[in-house]
Amino acid sequence: MSNYTQLQPHSHEGQAVATVLCCNCGIPMDGSTGLVMCYDCIKLTVDITEGIPREANLSFCRNCERFLQPPGQWIRAELESRELLALCLRRLKGLTKVRLVDASFIWTEPHSRRVRVKLTVQGEAMTNTIVQQSFEVEYVVVAMQCPDCAKSYTTNTWRATVQIRQKVPHKRTFLYLEQLILKHNAHVDTISIQESKDGLDFFYAQRNHATKMLDFLNSVVPIKSKKSEELVSMDIHSGSSSYKFTFSVEIIPICRDDLVILPRKLAHSLGNISRIVLCSKVSNSLQFIDPTTLQIADLTPGVYWRDAFPSLCDVTQLVEFIVLDVEPTGESKGKHVLADITVARAADLGSNDQTFYIRSHLGGILHPGDSAMGYYIANSNFNSDLWDSLDVDNAPDVVLVKKHYQRKNKKSKNRQWKLKRMAREHKDIVAANTESRAAKQDAERAERDYELFLQELEEDAEMRQAINLYKANQNDLAQQRYNSQNAAEMDEDDEEGDDAGEDGPAIDIDELLDELDDMTLDDRNADATDSAD
């Protein structure tokens, strides 16, 4: 037998792992990984972000404040918003080769037209080696004009229009409708707004925008609409056509505080209400009230347009009366209180002793010595078939409409509140020429209607709840004081008689909103200084 030595199995648990030196820095590293370079040297020498640009452009429309999302979509995005961050990431080429870990904005001045984004990505530098790196990308905001805004500055670019008309001698309904549109932001899709003789024209780039506006009008005012279309162009090869759509909207020519004579059949169908009524409210339907019985009836636009009828008197024919005596009957409904009131025409005081004993729904707000506005029916001649069919002997001599406040300044008042207005264009050549007599008369009439509308808002709290009122800033108050001084110099004689009267009601400051759109840094500092003092 030969002699041999038996080999004992060795345990490798306590032995050190074989190491190799890094080819770059020379530090020992694990050789079992198959790498020839350490992790720190890999991060310093290998750039996984190679191919990703560090600068890019963002197309921005200054007019509509939208960003271009290629190839042709324009989106709205605020600065440092998620939408803008997603748009910035889509603009970068090469992000598909790495894994995006984190992305955030780096603050820049808003006027610098620069957007900086910090990105953190992971990628494979070598075999079985994942490296994480961070870098910054700077975007330059390039101002340009989107196709929709470019069309708005040219002619014949609209695709749909909504023409709103109301054949009445004043603009109070459109002033109220304007505030409703501004509150609900219903005019956001309009290309332009033009003012015509009896109403407004809204132009849209798409048909569905005009349909949306039509639905809004149906919900706030009593209207009827008619649609028409015009062929613009037609491709005989593909069979496609281009049309322009026009929606003609007519508002019922009956406004609030109008005196109305109802047709006999209609009055019978509305609960046998009296034929002589006042229009007390205008929404998507008309609300009438009988001032002698407090009976209320609602009339829908569909029923009205079956047999349309005009109003007998409007607010331009109101006459001032002086209240001599008020005797409540004890009957009331809501805010209306029925009372027997003795009145005399303000123009007859001192010349005759003619008085009128009437029944009115204003017993809750009228007191002896107050002034009231009403319709003087006994001394009026009406050219109306409905009036001729009425039993005139049983008609009241006077119909009171509302309480009248003797304001110290009739033309302007230092109001602590204001309303927003829509930017409109004048369609008529006469209206555009401010030097013509017709244009001056229209401007005076519009100013008078606007002042009456503001006074009506001060007197009616229910109407104020449907619109937004804003606090007047210092510039607005200074302009109002200037207008008041000019009005005082022109109407000095009138003010001498009005100083003894009661001033109109004021709006509580709690009902007003802050106009944040126009607030600047100086305004905020001024508010902070006032609060500190």
Rounded distance between C-alpha atoms, residue 121 and residue 388, angstroms: 87
pLDDT for the residue 407:
72
Does residue 4 or residue 30 have the better pLDDT?
Answer: 30
Lowest mean pLDDT among 48-52, 94-98, 433-437, 485-489: 485-489
Rounded distance between C-alpha atoms, residue 357 and residue 355, angstroms: 7
Domain boundary among 347, 373, 403: 403
Residue 307 burial (C-beta neighbours within 10 Å; 0-12, 13-18, 19+):
exposed
pLDDT digit string, tens, across residues 58-80: 999 988 889 998 888 898 888 88
Residue 35, in any domain of the structure: no
Q: Are residues 353 and 414 in the same domain?
A: no
Q: Are residues 468 and 416 in the same domain?
A: yes
Tell whether the model's pLDDT for residue 527 goes beyond 60.
no
Residue 117 and residue 88 in contact, taking contact as beta carbons nearer than 8 Å: yes
pLDDT for the residue 481:
56
Residue 487, in any domain of the structure: no
Buried b (16+ CB within 10 A) or exposed e, 85-118: bebbeebbeebeebeeeebeeeeeeeeeeebebe
Q: What average pLDDT does the chain have?
A: 81
Residue 433, in any domain of the structure: no
pLDDT for the residue 254:
92
Residue 139: CB atoms within 10 Å:
20
Q: Are residues 388 and 466 in the same domain?
A: no
Confidence of residue 498 (pLDDT cuts 50, 70, 90): very low
- The total number of residues shown for the chain amounts to 533
Q: Are residues 397 and 309 in the same domain?
A: yes
**Distances from the Cα of 445 to the Cα of 51, 171, 425, 477, 485, angstroms:** 68, 9, 17, 23, 21
Residue 34, in any domain of the structure: no
Work out whether the CA dihedral 406, 512, 282, 181 comes out positive or negative.
Answer: positive
Residue 370, in any domain of the structure: yes
Residue 421, in any domain of the structure: yes
Confidence of residue 2 (pLDDT cuts 50, 70, 90): very low
- Minimal CA–CA distance to 319: which of 372, 363, 241? 372
Rounded distance between C-alpha atoms, residue 189 and residue 181, angstroms: 12
Confidence of residue 409 (pLDDT cuts 50, 70, 90): low
pLDDT for the residue 495:
43
Chain Cα centroid distance, residue 72 = 28
Tell whether the model's pLDDT for residue 426 goes beyond 50.
yes
Q: What is the span of the domain harbouring residue 78?
A: 47-148
Rounded distance between C-alpha atoms, residue 417 and residue 456, angstroms: 14
Q: Are residues 454 and 390 in the same domain?
A: no
pLDDT for the residue 523:
44
pTM of this structure: 0.67
**Distances from the Cα of 261 to the Cα of 222, 264, 278, 500, angstroms:** 18, 9, 9, 38
- Minimal CA–CA distance to 104: which of 83, 126, 80? 80
pLDDT digit string, tens, across residues 114-166: 999 999 988 877 766 788 888 899 999 999 888 878 776 766 578 899 999 99
Q: Are residues 399 and 412 in the same domain?
A: no
- Minimal CA–CA distance to 243: which of 235, 253, 254, 251? 235
Tell whether the model's pLDDT for residue 454 goes beyond 60.
yes
Direct distance between the N- and C-terminal alpha carbons of the chain, in angstroms, rounded to an integer? 115
Split into its structural domains, the chain has a count of: 4
Residue 361 and residue 289 in contact, taking contact as beta carbons nearer than 8 Å: yes
Q: Are residues 418 and 381 in the same domain?
A: no
Residue 225, in any domain of the structure: yes
pLDDT for the residue 428:
46
Mean pLDDT of 404-411: 67
pLDDT digit string, tens, across residues 11-40: 444 445 667 777 778 778 776 666 777 777
CA atoms in the 13 A half-sphere facing the CB of 126: 13
Q: Are residues 268 and 396 in the same domain?
A: yes
Lowest mean pLDDT among 49-58, 96-105, 356-365, 402-411: 402-411
- Minimal CA–CA distance to 293: which of 276, 268, 309? 276
pLDDT for the residue 170:
84
Mean pLDDT of 441-470: 85
Chain Cα centroid distance, residue 5 = 101
List phi, psi (to 5°) of 36.
-110, 0
Tell whether the model's pLDDT for residue 469 goes beyond 60.
yes
pLDDT for the residue 514:
75
Tell whether the model's pLDDT for residue 512 goes beyond 90.
no
- Minimal CA–CA distance to 315: which of 451, 181, 420? 451
Rounded distance between C-alpha atoms, residue 384 and residue 408, angstroms: 38
Tell whether the model's pLDDT for residue 489 goes beyond 80.
no
Q: Are residues 274 and 232 in the same domain?
A: no
Buried b (16+ CB within 10 A) or exposed e, 297-306: bebebeebee
Residue 529: CB atoms within 10 Å:
9
Sequence-separated (6 or more) residues with CB below 8 Å from residue 372: 320, 321, 322, 323, 343, 362, 366, 400, 401, 402, 403, 404
- Minimal CA–CA distance to 396: which of 380, 407, 419? 380
Domain boundary among 251, 266, 282: 251
Rounded distance between C-alpha atoms, residue 470 and residue 480, angstroms: 15
pLDDT digit string, tens, across residues 325-384: 999 998 999 889 999 999 999 988 878 888 999 999 999 999 999 999 999 998 888 888
Q: Are residues 224 and 294 in the same domain?
A: no
Q: Are residues 399 and 420 in the same domain?
A: no
Residue 477, in any domain of the structure: yes
Rounded distance between C-alpha atoms, residue 179 and residue 173, angstroms: 10
Mean pLDDT of 234-257: 88
Rg (CA), the chain: 38
Q: Are residues 179 and 263 in the same domain?
A: no
Residue 171: CB atoms within 10 Å:
22
What percent of the chain shows pLDDT beyond 90? 32
Residue 153 and residue 177 in contact, taking contact as beta carbons nearer than 8 Å: no
